[in-house]
Structure 1
C-alpha cells in the first residue's frame, strides 16, 4: 500500500469515527432538549378558586372540555422535541379568550414562546368550536373572522 493510500484510509477512518461521535452527541442533545425547559401550567389542587378565576371555569368544566378537545389538539413527540402538553395548550387558549391577554403576557405567564402560542391558539379555538358547535349561537363565519382579526392584531 502506498503512502497516499495509507493517508486516505486513515482520514476515512477518522471521518467515520467523528461522524459516529457527532451522531451520538446529537442524540443526547435531542433527548435532553426539554429537560431544561420548564413550561408553566395551573394546578387546580393548589388553589381551586384561583384556578376558576384564572380560566373562568371550574376544574370539572375544564376537564369536561379537555376530554372533548384532547384528540383534536394533541400532537406527537418527535425526535427533535417533545410536543407541548394538550392540557397546557387548552389552558393558555382559555386564558387568552377569557382575558384578551397578549401573546407576550401569556409567554411570561406560562413560559411558552409566543410564536408557539400564535400557532396553537387558532387550532384550539377551532377544536373548541367543533366540539361545542351545537351550543354556540354565533355564525361560524363571524366567529372565525373575529378570531382571525384578534389573532392578527396580537
Structure 2
C-alpha cells in the first residue's frame, strides 16, 4: 500500500483539458513500461484505463502508479514476443515511428509471428485462428480479450502492408 497524493490520471486529464504531445508521450511511455513489466512477470492487468493510474505526488510528475489489479490473469510469457515488446517500448510511440526504429530482422520476426498465427495464409488473423494458436500455448482468454488481440493483429497487418 502506498499513498499517491497526485490523484488519478483521468482527473488530471479532465482538469488540464488536454496534454501536449510531449507530455502525453511521457505518460504513455510509462504506461507501456508498466504493461511490459506486468507481461514479463506473466500478469495481464485487464482493466487499463486512466482511472487506474495514479500520480505519486501532486506535481503530476512521474512516477505514475498502476492500481486495481482485481481483474488480472496469469499467463506463461513467450520469450520471443517479450523481446520484441521490450525493443518496441524503448522508442517513441506510434506505428510508423516504431517501424522506423526496428531493424529489418525485427520486422521479419514480427512478420513471421503474424504468418504463424495466419493458418490459412489469407493475410488476416481470424478469431478462430487466434483462439486456436493461443490454446496451443495454454491460454484461456475470454472473448473480449481475444477481440482486443484481433484488433491489435489487424493494426500489425495494416502496418506490414505499408
Is the shorter-chain TM-score for this pair beyond 0.5, marking a shared fold? no
Larger radius of gyration: 1
TM-score calculated relative to the size of structure 2: 0.30
Q: Which has the higher strand share?
A: 2
Q: Which has the higher helix share?
A: 1
TM-score calculated relative to the size of structure 1: 0.31
